[in-house]
Structure 1
Amino acid sequence: MKQNANASVWLPRAIAVILAALMTLFFAITINNMMTLGAETDRTKNGPYPVSVAAGRVETLLVQCRTLADRPLFTRTDSAINDIERSYAVADADLREKLSFMATAHESDPEAARKLEQGYESLDVAQREYVALCRNADVTDEEIEAYVDGIIDPAVEELLRIDAGILDESTESVEQLYGIVKERGRQTVGWAVVLMAGVTVSLAVYLTLMYRNRMREGRLKADLQEALALAQSASAAKSQFLSNMSHDIRTPMNAIVGLTAIAKTHLHEPDRIAACLDRIQSSSRHLLSLINDVLDMGKIESGKIVLNEDRFSFPEFVNGVIAIVQPQARAKNLSLDITVGTIQQETVIGDSMRMNQALINLVSNALKYTPDGGSVRLSLSEGPSRRPGCRDYRFVVQDTGLGMSPEFIERLFDPFEREESDMTERIEGTGLG
C-alpha cells in the first residue's frame, strides 16, 4: 500500500518532467527549423530564384538574337533590316538589365556571370557589324551567311552554354530549398507526433492513476466505514455484555448458594456436607473460569485461549456438571435426563475447566430457553479417534425449548450474539456461552 502511494506521487512528477522536456525540445526544434527555412527562403528569394528567372529570360533573348541573324538570308530589304535593328535594340536593353543583375546576384559563381556579361559585349559588337553587312549591297548573301555561321552563331551558342550553367545552378538551389522545406517539415511533424504520443501516454497514465486513487480511496472509505460499523457493533455488544453478564455468573452462583443452604440444613450429616462441598468447589472453579474470561476480554476476542493438559476423572467431571445444572432444572420443574454410553477411558488428559465451561453453557442455555415442564437431555458417548493415543467424546444436548432459526445458526459462534425475539427479550443473556 505504501509502495503504491509512493508510486502515485513520483510517477506524475516524472511524467510532468518528461512532458516539459519534450515540449521544450519540440519548441527549440520548431524555432530552429522556422529560422532555417526563413533564412533559406530569403537567400533563395534574393539570389538563386531571381537569377534563375533572369537566366531563363536571357536564354530566350539569346535564341531570339540567333533567329534575327537568320532573317536577312531570306530578305535584305531596308524595312526588314530596320526591323532587325530595332529588335536588336529592344533585346539589348533587356539583356543588359538581366546580365547586370546576374553579375551582382549570382554569388555562387560570379565568374560565370562576368563571362556571360563580357561575352554579350562581344556579341553586341558582332551584331552591329552584321547589320552593317546586311545594309552593304556589295556584300553577298553567302558572305553574310558565312559571318552568321562563323561569328554570330558560335558566340550565341557559347553564351547559351554559360547561361544554361547559371540556370541549372540557380534551379538546383531553388530545388534545394524545396528539399530543406520538406526535410524540416517532416522533422517538425515527427517531433509533433512524438510529443502527442507522449501527451497521450501521459494522459492515459494520469487517468489510470486517478482511477486507481479513486478506487483506493473508495476501498479505504469502505474499510473505514466497515471498521467504524464493527467498532460500533463491538462497543454495543460489549455494553450489552457488561450489563447482562450476570446471567452466566448466576448459574454457578445459584449452585453455590443452593448447595450452601443444603449443607446448613444437614450439619449433622458429614457425608452430605462433603458432597455439597465437592459440588461447591466444582461450581467455584467454573465461576472462577468465567470471571477470568470476563477480565481477560482480549483472549475471548482474539480466540487465543491456551488449553491445559491435566489428568482428571471423566465420571467425576460429568457428575460435577450435573450437580451445577440440577438446581436450575428443579427450579423450573424440568426433566433433566443424562444418557451415558460406553465410556472405556475413565481417566483422561485434557482441559477439564474449558470442557466444564462449554458443557455447562450448553446445558444451562437449554434449561434457560426451555419452558417450565419441558425436558432437557444430555447424551455422552466415546468413540475411536484418528489420532493415536486419543479418544473422541461426543456431547449432545437436546431440549424442547425455542430452538434457533437457520439464519441465526450462521452467526452462532460470533461473540456476544444471541437470537432476539419476543420470548428471548424476557430472558437475560449475553451470548458469552
Structure 2
Amino acid sequence: MTATWKQRLIEVEVGPVAHGGHCVARHEGRVVFVRHALPGERVLVRVTEDTGGSFCRGDAVEVLEASPDRVEAPCRYAGPGLCGGCDWQHASWQAQRELKAAVVSEQLHRLAKLDWEVIVEDLPGGPEDWRTRMRMAVGRDGRAGFRAHRSHDVIAVDDCVIAVPGALDGVVDRTWPPKSELVVTRDAGGQVHLTEVGPPVVRRGRPVPGPSRLIGGSGTATELAAGRAWNVRADGFWQVHPAAADTFAAVVRDWADCQPGDRAWDLYGGVGLFASLLAEQVGETGSVAVVESSYGAVEDGKRNLSDQPQVSWYAGRTEAVLETPDFTDLPPDVVVLDPPRKGAGRVVVTAIARSRPARVVYVACDPAALARDIAAFAHHGYELAQLRAFDAFPMTHHVECIALLRPAR
C-alpha cells in the first residue's frame, strides 16, 4: 500500500481532461486527478485526497507554465479550497466547450466503442448570469453559500457570477438558521421564489430534510417554453439555463417526428415539456404516455396539459411502470427519455428495446451514463444516428447531450 500523499506538494505535467471537472496527470507511477489546471500546463499540485491506491486527487495551487486557454477566473470564490460549484472558470469559454466535447467523445469511445466527433454548442447569453435555480447551504455562522468541492464545508458568498442578476438579493445579505438549506428560483417573469429547508432531523433512526417554509415569492414559478407558459413548483425540476428548455424541446420535436395517430412514451417526463410537443404531433388520434416518479411534477403536468387529453400520466419509478402489462400492451412508435444523472440503466433500456420503437430520443445530463446506455441499446440492435451537445452549464463540467437512436440497419 502506497504511503499517503495528502497535503504533499508535487510538480506535474498536466495531461488530458477527464470526466468530472479535472485533468489527468501522473507522478511516480500514480494517477493524479488535478483540478484548477488545463491540459498541457506544468503546475504545482497540493494533494487533497489520497486513500493509498493507484490514484489521488489534488488542486493546482501554482501554475508554472500556463496554457494559452487560461484566463483569470471572474469569481473571487473560484479556486483551490473555495466554492465547488464551478470547475472551469480559469478556462476561456471556447476552451470550456472544447474540454466538454473531448469528455463526451472519450466516454463514447471508452464505454460505447464509438468514434464520434462532438461539438458542444453554446446557448445564448454567455458564460455568466445564467443560473436561475440554486440550492444553497447555510454554514455555522448563519451565512448562505455553496459547498467546497467534495466537502461539507460551506463557503459563504456575497454574490455568484453564474446566477441570474437579482436571484440572490435578500439571500446573501442576511443570516439564516445554521445547517439549513435555501432553494432559490428566479422564474421567467423575474419573480424570485425562496424556500428555507430546516436542518435535518432524525426519524426512525434516519436523517431526513427538516421542515420547509416559503420565505419569498408564491412558490409557483412561471416558465416559458415550447410555445406555452408553465406554472410549476418553484422547488421542483426545471432546466436552470433560461434558453435550455426551448433549445432541447426544439431538438426533441425534430427528432421525435411523430405522425398523427402514433403512440409515444415520455419517460422521466417531469411536468410534460416534451410530452406537450409529442401530443401536438400525434394529434387527437394518437397517445402520449408520461412516466414520472415525482408526484408533484405529475400534478403540475396534468394541470398544465389539461388541454391535451391524448396525454396520460403514470406516477412511479420508470422501471416499475415499464413492467406493468397495461402500459406495455400497446408498444410505442417513438420513445423520449430524460433520465437522472445515473442514466436509464439496463432494465429500462431492455424494456424500451423490447418494444421496438422506430426512434428513441435520449436527453442526457451525464456523458458517461449516456455512453453506457448507448452501449446497452447497441446490444439490443439500436445504433446512434445523431448526437448534439450543449453547454447548458457554463463554467461547470456539466454538459447536456441529446442522442437519436434507431434500429440498426
Query: Which band: TM-score by shorter chain?
Result: under 0.3
In terms of fraction of residues, the more helix-rich structure is 1
In terms of fraction of residues, the more strand-rich structure is 2
- TM norm structure 1: 0.19
- TM norm structure 2: 0.20
